[in-house]
Chain A
């Protein structure tokens, strides 16, 4: 009798522990992806227009600045237009999911470009400039509670994504990233992104207004993105097409 009770107790305890572990793991995985989606929404509305300044800083302090106007719709559509400097003005880039094109006014037709290239030079590449939602490109593989922050390990959903793996530190209070390390499939660190200086952009959007990056591949160089305006905007799907690319400026 005692043996039966003991067996039942042990069996029930083991089963309970096993189920608890399974649900705990599922809950963590779910939480990780939910946190990532919340990070996306806290960084930007799903459909918006945005003004950014991109600054490349060389080791001797020399700067080169670019100003971009961008619009994004849904999970996979984005366009960026260069407003400055004059040498780049009118250039526009389009991203539809993993496809990217560059339009140069003199060339007069869009050409396909890759996410790893950089149309501006410096540490930021095309995928940084035309970044879609993190949750659209990555799955959370592990989540670690570090007190005031979460550490999310992200794995790219396809091999067409610029970085194979991200290590993202998320501030629990604001649910926005503070630091993101970007790794190649080989495990090599390609660059580190630092989100800084939270700012109220209106309409309930409080997010970092500065994104800095450095890279072991560009020792001593730094690139910075300064966000000046991020606002919701209704956009037609047809805006995100090659035929519309030469006239993106008319959206402003």
Chain B
């Protein structure tokens, strides 16, 4: 009964879009036409997505002042359409790969759109042991689900959506693999050269440098181990190690440890000046993934980041915004807010800018025998200022090539804390994605 109601609801929800859905439902029982799946030189696919977000604005919070001063509002509705196209073209031992993404966004503040080449690179594979690549490619190093301290070439990911594609960097890569019998089953080396020049990877770090990074992977006694290193002048040198292992068939443990002897970060000093602080920084992550007997998957991670901002440093940033608001309201000037916006972009505004976090994601697969339904809840807790976000969600993948997801995010914390000072106090999100 409940299942029928649920499917009816979902059908109604996507009624306008279902017209385009796959004809798989009408196929003969157990038919299998192999010709459809013959290998082709050109393979392509992707998805189209529509997303609606409704946010209740936390009026008076630091980020609502920073983003909405001059046009205060109590809520914000946003519609986003996204198109991602990925594919590859193979010719002999060479393959061209690409991921392109374009998005348009309309909300109460206006229209915004962008189109990016996330990846576009050529690979040459003379043997299964050796691959050489050149072009734009994204890196996802590290074993953590929400954060990756050893992801020295990674773009920062959104812990609320860690499974989304991210833009890559232009680089050259060499990948070598060797398998063995015995305790050491696999060893693999990935070496990357990443240049930073004018108009090439400029957002990675200081320009006019060629940076080198390497990852040495071992599968040793059923444990994944990576040794990671980055050196170059665009960012400070850093070293890392990560691991992942199943302690039981339903219990996995993973961890990362990274060390940067001379990490630089932008800091707002007590006198209001902005300086570049240099210090040795250790960041670490330890996490588990556990599958219970009733099919609940739990991912729990603790993340520490020496390079993050202390509560005092974040307080100074929020105070700067408060002072900026007073300046704007009394004089109409926004020099202090402009300063806050600038340092926001250079560090204070990154996702999870603090030092100690706890992440939890709990999903139950197919409860009440409803196939393809996955309810879940995600939480990110700032252990220093005791603010948090809590996001229950519901995902359904029962219609071939469609993914429906709805999520509500609630942010809470004492004043002058990370989640209390966000622009919104909550967010409702409904997303429909069609894969082709």
Contact indicator B37/A63 (Cβ below 8 Å): no
Bound complex: CA of A53 vs CA of B29, how far in Å? 11
Contact indicator B32/A53 (Cβ below 8 Å): yes
Q: What 0/1 pattern do residues 23 to 48 of A give for CB contact below 8 A with B?
A: 00000000000000000000000000
Contact indicator B222/A85 (Cβ below 8 Å): no
- B219 / chain A contacts, CB cutoff of 8 Å: 96, 99, 241-242
Which of the residues B142, B188, B371, B402 comes within 8 Å of A122, measured between beta carbons? B371
* Segment at the interface with B among A8-16, A141-149, A172-180, A221-229: A221-229
Contact indicator B24/A99 (Cβ below 8 Å): no
B289 CB-CB contact with A under 8 Å: yes
B98 CB-CB contact with A under 8 Å: no
* Segment at the interface with B among A110-118, A128-136, A200-208: A110-118
Bound complex: CA of A218 vs CA of B402, how far in Å? 23
Known: A85-B401, A241-B177. A114 touches B250 (CB 8 A): yes
Q: How far is the CB of B346 from chain A (nearest CB, A)?
A: 26
Contact indicator A86/B45 (Cβ below 8 Å): yes
* Segment at the interface with A among B57-65, B125-133, B262-270, B418-426: B125-133
Contact indicator A108/B138 (Cβ below 8 Å): yes
Contact indicator A85/B179 (Cβ below 8 Å): no
Q: How far is the CB of A40 from chain B (nearest CB, A)?
A: 20
Q: What 0/1 pattern do residues 149 to 170 of B give for CB contact below 8 A with A?
A: 0000000000000111110000
Residue of B nearest to A219 (CB): B369
Contact indicator B32/A104 (Cβ below 8 Å): no
Known: A112-B246, A121-B397, A218-B369. A83 touches B37 (CB 8 A): yes
Which of the residues A86, A106, A243 comes within 8 Å of B177, measured between beta carbons? A243
A84 CB-CB contact with B under 8 Å: yes
Instruction: State which size class the interface on B falls in.
Output: 35 or more
Contact indicator B188/A243 (Cβ below 8 Å): yes
Residue of B nearest to A67 (CB): B37
B217 CB-CB contact with A under 8 Å: yes
Bound complex: CA of A96 vs CA of B366, how far in Å? 27
Known: A58-B371, A241-B186. A107 touches B163 (CB 8 A): yes
The A67-97 residues at the B interface (CB cut-off 8 A) are 67, 69, 83-87, 89-90, 96-97
Contact indicator B165/A106 (Cβ below 8 Å): yes
Provide 19 A-B residue pairs closer than 8 Å at the C-beta atoms, listed in order of the A residue.
A51-B34, A51-B37, A58-B371, A64-B24, A64-B398, A69-B37, A83-B37, A85-B400, A98-B246, A111-B145, A112-B246, A112-B289, A116-B250, A238-B179, A238-B186, A239-B128, A242-B188, A244-B177, A247-B95
Contact indicator A63/B217 (Cβ below 8 Å): no
Contact indicator B249/A116 (Cβ below 8 Å): yes
Known: A85-B435, A116-B291. A109 touches B244 (CB 8 A): no
- A51 / chain B contacts, CB cutoff of 8 Å: 32, 34, 37
B224 CB-CB contact with A under 8 Å: yes
Q: How far is the CB of A177 from chain B (nearest CB, A)?
A: 19
Interface residues of A (CB under 8 A from B): 51, 53, 55-56, 58, 62-65, 67, 69, 83-87, 89-90, 96-99, 104-109, 111-112, 114-118, 121-122, 159-160, 162, 210, 218-219, 221, 224, 226, 228-229, 236-244, 247, 249-250, 252
B386 CB-CB contact with A under 8 Å: no
- B123 / chain A contacts, CB cutoff of 8 Å: 247
Contact indicator B244/A86 (Cβ below 8 Å): no
- B248 / chain A contacts, CB cutoff of 8 Å: 160
Q: How far is the CB of A124 from chain B (nearest CB, A)?
A: 12
Residue of A nearest to B398 (CB): A64
- B366 / chain A contacts, CB cutoff of 8 Å: 121
Q: How far is the CB of B11 from chain A (nearest CB, A)?
A: 12
The B185-225 residues at the A interface (CB cut-off 8 A) are 185-186, 188, 190, 217, 219, 222, 224
B341 CB-CB contact with A under 8 Å: no
Which of the residues B164, B190, B372 comes within 8 Å of A106, measured between beta carbons? B164
Residue of A nearest to B123 (CB): A247
B342 CB-CB contact with A under 8 Å: no
- B139 / chain A contacts, CB cutoff of 8 Å: 108
Known: A65-B400, A228-B34. A243 touches B175 (CB 8 A): yes
Max chain A C-beta neighbours (<10 A), residue from B43, B128, B248, B366: B128
Residue of A nearest to B127 (CB): A236
Residue of A nearest to B93 (CB): A250
- A96 / chain B contacts, CB cutoff of 8 Å: 185, 219
Which of the residues B127, B246, B436 comes within 8 Å of A86, measured between beta carbons? B436
Max chain B C-beta neighbours (<10 A), residue from A51, A112, A210: A112
Max chain B C-beta neighbours (<10 A), residue from A85, A118, A229: A85
B25 CB-CB contact with A under 8 Å: yes
- A252 / chain B contacts, CB cutoff of 8 Å: 39
Bound complex: CA of A62 vs CA of B246, how far in Å? 36
B405 CB-CB contact with A under 8 Å: no
Q: How far is the CB of A81 from chain B (nearest CB, A)?
A: 11
Contact indicator A210/B30 (Cβ below 8 Å): yes
- B127 / chain A contacts, CB cutoff of 8 Å: 236
Contact indicator B45/A89 (Cβ below 8 Å): yes
Contact indicator B188/A241 (Cβ below 8 Å): yes
B90 CB-CB contact with A under 8 Å: yes
B56 CB-CB contact with A under 8 Å: no
The B217-264 residues at the A interface (CB cut-off 8 A) are 217, 219, 222, 224, 244, 246, 248-250, 252, 254
Contact indicator A121/B95 (Cβ below 8 Å): no
Contact indicator A238/B178 (Cβ below 8 Å): yes
With A85-B401, A108-B139, A249-B39 known, 6 other A-B pairs at CB within 8 A are A98-B222, A221-B371, A241-B219, A242-B224, A243-B175, A250-B125
